[in-house]
Structure 1
């Protein structure tokens, strides 16, 4: 929603201000300039990135229309799922949760929380580290270090699309200048012709610079920032997950372990202690 609203505001403000000063929209309708700028930017984007990153970008940008990936309900479901796992392990022993972490799709605990179950990476993270906990082969400090290494790699991977889009935004003003220079070359070739024709070609050349700057700072740059924010939100979600698992390994009760996770949450998403307790009670019933 923010993506659409922001794009509308940018477009209306720029074009509205131009028209208010007597400008004509047809004067800035220069499709060949758009082809030069956008085509060159797309080509440079493809050259400088792996196909995996390219696909992530094209999948990630439409996701901006849906708002934040992780909402308060996702956090509540995550904490409730971990609470159920920790409680079962406390009652039945660590071997009691082995079927749940080996086959999460078949687990009654995971099936209670479809918002978590459909997130393959989160489920895999839970299963992998709870499997290590069940094996008893790692102490909390080793587990903490291993999690940090994995999360650092994961954060780098999910942040790469934002960096790729930002590089395109940085290049767009230069591609606008390329389009403008080509427009001037075209104008010079027409010297001696009608003044109206020369004036139109000069205007078209200037539109190239205008479009490069507008696309960079009005659209592509902000989209890069939005993608980066989504990557940071995902990192915070995993930080919450990490805090809960480590607290459980250190011997805290399930209620206290999920409280560790609750404390890592951003204040805008963090439920109150009573709210979390009510949610945990509701999942039991």
Structure 2
């Protein structure tokens, strides 16, 4: 999703700029006062609405929209199957030796609870609580962007009112009517642009990424509980494949086949 985010923003602004150039000059749409009113007002409103740490967390979360989705469901399923095979052959305590090979902190925490001898109800409760607060943190960042999408057009309208008032005050001076009207209209333009090319798209982007992460975490939780219950690795795989697409299942099949070929070659040597 990272490259599509960049292409969408760049392409959108390119379309706007081309449209402006086809009908006039780009300088006609550059007004420092309008930018100051719209962008400055939106930022200040967000500072009033949310604590600074939450705003900083939101800024940090934007990198995920531009970096793209790094999750690999097929790889996680393969790892869970490997863990299930180890637990079935050597017992749950043998999983402790594999903890360092688990990169995902959510999955690693679940396996640690199993190794520590926690019962299935406790494991499920702890991991569901972890999952809930992960989503809460995501939702707080999304709410900041949603608020920004609402504030930007509002301050654009405020700038329009300022421009109209200045225009009415200057009716006797025809030379001031043009600049005042420019501020009035361009400020609304900036508000709509900031809301619909920045805040709203990035909010939906993070919401989509959050939903994908939640699905993968739920899949891993299902795998953790299945390992603890001693289920057959083949049955665990069938259960986890319900969470992913056909393309990701094909990737998983290819990796399993490659692992079998590697193991067969090692035995022959």
Within 5 Å, which residues of 2 pair with 1:215-234? Answer: 215-234=194-213
Distance in 2 separating the partners of 1:99 and 1:209: 60
Q: Which moved more, 1:147-156 or 1:29-38?
A: 147-156
Question: What residue in structure 2 maps to residue 131 of structure 1?
Answer: 112
Offset of 1:132 from its aligned partner? Answer: 2.7
RMSD: 2.5
Deviation at residue 276 of structure 1 after TM alignment: 4.8
Inter-CA distance 151–280: structure 2 relative to 1 (3 Å threshold): farther
Displacement of 1:129:
2.1
**Is residue 89 from structure 1 mapped to residue 69 from structure 2 by the alignment?**
no
State the 1:36 CA deviation: 1.4
Q: Is the CA contact (8 Å cut-off) linking 1:162 and 1:227 kept in structure 2?
A: yes
Write the deviation string for residues 133-191 of structure 1: whole angstroms up to 9, x where unpaired.
2344413x554344333312221212321221011001111010111222223333433
Seen in structure 2, the aligned counterparts of structure 1 residues 283 and 130 have a Cα distance that, compared at 3 Å, is farther
The alpha carbon displacement at 1:229 in A equals 0.8
Q: How far is 1:253 from its partner?
A: 2.0
Question: Which of 202, 205, 208 is 2:187 aligned to?
Answer: 208
Number of matched residues?
Answer: 262
Per-residue CA deviations over 1:81-110 (Å, capped at 9, x if unaligned) read 222322222222222222443xx2xxxxx0
Question: Match of 1:113?
Answer: none
- Hey, what does 1:12 align to over in structure 2? 14
* Rounded Cα–Cα distance in structure 1 between residues aligned with 2:80 and 2:258: 13
Aligned to 2:66: 65
1:156 to 1:88, Cα distance in 2 relative to 1, 3 A? same
1:152 and 1:261 map into 2 onto residues whose CA distance is: 20
Matched, 1:235 2:214: yes
Q: Which structure's relative contact order is higher, taking Cα pairs within 8 Å and 6+ residues apart? A: 2
Aligned to 1:77: 75
Q: TM-score, normalised by structure 1?
A: 0.81
TM-score by length of structure 2 reads 0.85
Task: Name the structure 2 match of 1:3.
Answer: 5
TM-superposed deviation, 1:280: 4.7
Give the Cα separation in 2 of the matches to 1:134 and 1:227.
34
Give the whole-Å Cα distance in 2 for the aligned partners of 1:280 and 1:160: 41
SS in 1 for 2:250: coil
* Distance (Å, rounded) in 2 between the aligned partners of 1:282 and 1:238: 30
Q: Secondary structure at the match of 1:185?
A: helix
Long gaps (5+) in structure 1: 105-109, 111-115
Give the Å deviation of 1:239.
1.5
| CA shift digits 1:234-268 (9 cap, x unpaired) | 11110221121122223212333233222212445
| Structure 1 partner of 2:165 | 185
Q: Counterpart in 2 of 1:163?
A: 143
Work out the CA distance in 2 between the residues paired with 1:182 and 1:68: 43
From the superposition, tell whether residues 283 and 156 of structure 1 become closer, same or farther in structure 2 (CA, over 3 Å). farther
1:41-91, Cα deviation, whole Å (9 max, x unpaired): 112222222333222221222332222232xxx223222322232222222
Judging changes above 3 Å, is the alpha-carbon distance between structure 1 residues 272 and 27 closer, same or farther for their aligned structure 2 residues? closer
SS of structure 2 residue aligned to 1:271: helix
Superimposed CA distance per residue, residues 211-238 of structure 1 (whole angstroms, 9 cap, x where no aligned partner) = 1112212332111111111111111110
Whole-angstrom CA distance in 1 between matches of 2:61 and 2:115 = 35
